[in-house]
Amino acid sequence: MHHPKAATIKDVANYAKVSISTVSNVLNNTKTVSKPLYDRVLEAVKVLDYQTNPIAKGLKSKVTNTISIIIPSISSVFFPQILSTIHVEASKMGYTVSIFETREILQREKDCINLLESKWTDGIILSSCVDVENPSSKEYIQKLNAINIPIVCIEAAISDKLDAVIMNNQEAIYTATNYLISLGKKNIAYIAAPTRFYMGKHRKEGYLAALSDSGLPIREEYIIEGDYTPKSGHMCMQRLLARMIPIDAVVVGNDQMAVGAIRCIKDAKLNIPEDIAVIGFNNNFPSSLITPSLSTMRVPKEEMGAIAFDLLLNRIKNPDSPIKLVKLNSELIIRESTDPNGDSSWDLNW
Amino acid sequence: MHHPKAATIKDVANYAKVSISTVSNVLNNTKTVSKPLYDRVLEAVKVLDYQTNPIAKGLKSKVTNTISIIIPSISSVFFPQILSTIHVEASKMGYTVSIFETREILQREKDCINLLESKWTDGIILSSCVDVENPSSKEYIQKLNAINIPIVCIEAAISDKLDAVIMNNQEAIYTATNYLISLGKKNIAYIAAPTRFYMGKHRKEGYLAALSDSGLPIREEYIIEGDYTPKSGHMCMQRLLARMIPIDAVVVGNDQMAVGAIRCIKDAKLNIPEDIAVIGFNNNFPSSLITPSLSTMRVPKEEMGAIAFDLLLNRIKNPDSPIKLVKLNSELIIRESTDPNGDSSWDLNW
DNA sequence: CTGAAAGCGCTAACAG
DNA sequence: CTGTTAGCGCTTTCAG
């Protein structure tokens, strides 16, 4: 309905007085065409302002030049940066990118996959929210493995049959926790990102390992689980304080929750970091803006997006290449929430 | 290549022992079909796990069930929220959304439009970066008007032939400036969002009008222009201070720049708001996080996205309905950067 | 109520 | 080197 007068390949052929296959051939460089015809076609294309119809093309060639990104949240402080890099890389290569938001609801993720299966996208970048513990997720993952669309996972390597780019979650939280221990902290609480998911699980393991390796006791009452949001971080911290256990530091599964936790601690009139030190994970820009600024583990978001697209492109072009798992390293950033002399400058790049 | 074994309408027809047109008819409810055949078709669909191929469907019907969003930045703190709302509304109605980033480069915007023209998207939501002053943009806008794809503008109403949802930019900055004047501020500087664009232009007009209406002089050396980013806000403030003119308040064209300005003022050891009061525009969540917290004008981002999609959907369904311009009102939020007793609570919803 | 057949715009054998 | 033709999977007249 929208394009009543758009020129078709037929129009071009008529105008140039050649066959439509010749037009197709010059446009796609698929066969050599004599100079005169070639020129006439190009002329016709120009005159008629012809653009090949990707829908029709896709119907034949099964190529849509579209990739799809499935993420938990479009408006979080984390994904937009990844999205942006992916978009830049993708458009360079002529791909359009479609977005899908799951809000951490597995059913929505499945719906997206189903939709995409029929929509003929050329590839999918997936930040999955499958529950790693739940045996019923096996079936879903099998399906993902068997699907005929290239898929690259980010944030969570949910299958060894799928390319993925992830963080060194466990090692990073281990580093963070160890750093707190090196500061002399002994009663270190942990506000976890949802541990039924891949990422939260591995991060928590890092915390536990660090305590163990330092001979510190693991106490259940020091561990609580949030839902990624600042608000939940605030609530978790409140609960932790209400338990009336000695706490001199908190490791938090992500920066968002850590910000909430810091606010809670401030409101309780406790000093950061003297009474309670706080460290997060991600290094989102707001973490540098608050007072005290938040120590955290850096996550190379741009790199993550770029690599994810690279992996995807490679798999599209080369479906049988070996599966790749890229694990990115994070790095400790010391700010005021663990060190009074820590960096208090604002990240102004946003 | 990706879907070798996906069932087609033909397979369903064969399995159900009916014609493909009957299958099509039951699936689209386009004609009444006898109960037995109807049931057999549904059964076949279920057994074969058939999903109709939207590409093929689109080729015939010219409908892609895809809308496209063109915005300056994917990763800014402003657009993701709008994006998110649009995505939610769109998926409810069965639309997929594709994103395009212009980085405020008009040529990129034009490229997107051209691409989309051939891609047969069902509609476009556009945050345009045309230079309102530049006469050459007339031509581009004419093209937009003539295009056969429904377009809804957000942030900038660049044509009265296009639906749009915008803020009351001028009135809002007028309010902000007036508020500062009511506080007794007399030497009020202005850090502008790029004034060659629709939005920046109108906001600046609000500042000028407020000064005029209060009988305050308009002085060029009090006005400077940034590029939306916190970094540029910092730099603009630095320049302003270097001019050695008395400044007791700054109105800033958006929150991001205002954050940079605040940092600069703090670094200069000046007191906020006593020495210099600061007010921004947008009410992004980071503005509540910094110290001092930033006074600003609220922008209903979710509403904006939802309305934009509504307008678009309406135009898709009803191409000849009258053009609508929706102007949203903002509201003053008083925080510490203008009032020592202003709200200092953190926005934890992100 | 049902099905055969003609395309949507394009690509890719296959002949010439 | 060029053109004819057969579809890709689906919708939609148009007969029956």
**Could you tell me which CATH class the domain B66-167+301-330 is placed in?**
alpha beta
Inform me whether the pLDDT recorded for B2 exceeds 60.
no
Inform me whether the pLDDT recorded for B4 exceeds 50.
no
Inform me whether the pLDDT recorded for A125 exceeds 50.
yes
Q: What is the pLDDT of residue A2?
A: 40
Q: What is the pLDDT of residue A5?
A: 65
Domain ranges of chain A: 9-52, 66-167+301-330, 169-299
**Chain A hits for B96, Cβ within 8 Å:** 98, 100, 115, 119
CA B274 to chain centre: 34
Residue range A239-253, pLDDT digits in tens: 999 999 999 999 999
Distance CA B155, CA B176 (A): 19
- DSSP 8-state symbol, B127: -
Q: How far is A287 from chain B (nearest CA, A)?
A: 9
- Chain D: positions less than 7 Å from a protein CB are 1-5, 7-13
Inform me whether the pLDDT recorded for A106 exceeds 50.
yes
Distance CA B212, CA B83 (A): 37
Tell me the residue type at A302: E
Do the domains A66-167+301-330 and A169-299 sit in the same CATH topology, yes or no? yes
Distance CA B69, CA B87 (A): 10
For residue A286, the SS3 value is helix
> Which of A1, A149, A349 is facing B231, going by the closest CB pair?
A349
Distance CA B25, CA A100 (A): 30
Q: What is the pLDDT of residue B5?
A: 65
B120 touches chain A (CB under 8 A): yes
> Which of A77, A148, A289 is facing B350, going by the closest CB pair?
A77
Tell me the mean pLDDT in the region A255-280.
97
Contacts of A32 (CB under 8 A, 6+ apart): none
Distance CA A278, CA A234 (A): 13
Tell me the mean pLDDT in the region B249-263.
98
Q: Do B66 and A98 touch (CB under 8 A)?
A: yes
Chain A, chain B: beta-carbon pairs less than 8 Å apart:
177
Inform me whether the pLDDT recorded for A4 exceeds 50.
no
Q: What is the pLDDT of residue B29?
A: 85
Question: What are the tokens at B26?
Answer: 């039951």
Question: What are the tokens at B71?
Answer: 């915005």
CA distances from A297 to A103, A171, A198, B77 (A): 24, 11, 18, 21
Q: What is the pLDDT of residue A270?
A: 97
Contacts of A94 (CB under 8 A, 6+ apart): A65
> Which of A2, A75, A260 is facing B148, going by the closest CB pair?
A2
Whether A58 contacts A28, CB under 8 Å = no
Tell me the mean pLDDT in the region A269-285.
97
φ/ψ of A251, rounded to 5, equals -95, 135
Residue range B145-186, pLDDT digits in tens: 999 899 999 999 999 999 999 999 999 999 999 999 999 999
Question: What are the tokens at A194?
Answer: 């949802």
**Which CATH superfamily groups domain A169-299?**
Response regulator (3.40.50.2300)
Residue range A54-71, pLDDT digits in tens: 888 888 888 889 999 999
Least confident range from A328-337, B17-26, B254-263, B324-333: namely B17-26
Q: Which of A75, A237, A256 to mutate to test the interface with B (most CBs of B within 10 A)?
A: A75
Tell me the mean pLDDT in the region B121-141.
91
The residues facing B11 across adjacent strands are: none
Whether A68 contacts A290, CB under 8 Å = no
A266 touches chain B (CB under 8 A): no
> Which of A97, A120, A150 is facing B55, going by the closest CB pair?
A120
Q: Does residue A194 have a cis peptide bond before it, meaning omega lies within 30 degrees of 0?
A: no
Q: What is the pLDDT of residue B343?
A: 97
Q: What is the pLDDT of residue B7?
A: 86
Residue range B189-213, pLDDT digits in tens: 999 999 999 999 999 999 999 999 9
A77 touches chain B (CB under 8 A): yes
Alpha helices in chain A (DSSP H): 9-16, 20-28, 35-48, 54-61, 79-92, 106-119, 137-146, 169-182, 198-213, 230-242, 255-267, 286-289, 301-317
CA of B21 to C1' of C6 (A): 13
Inform me whether the pLDDT recorded for A88 exceeds 80.
yes
Tell me the mean pLDDT in the region A37-47.
88
**Chain B hits for A55, Cβ within 8 Å:** 55, 58-59, 64, 119-120
Tell me the mean pLDDT in the region B222-244.
97
Contacts of A290 (CB under 8 A, 6+ apart): A259, A262, B289, B290, B291, B346
Distance CA B194, CA B192 (A): 6
Residue A34: which pLDDT band, with cuts at 50, 70 and 90? Answer: confident
Q: Does the pTM exceed 0.85?
A: yes
Q: Which of A85, A96, A114 to mutate to test the interface with B (most CBs of B within 10 A)?
A: A96
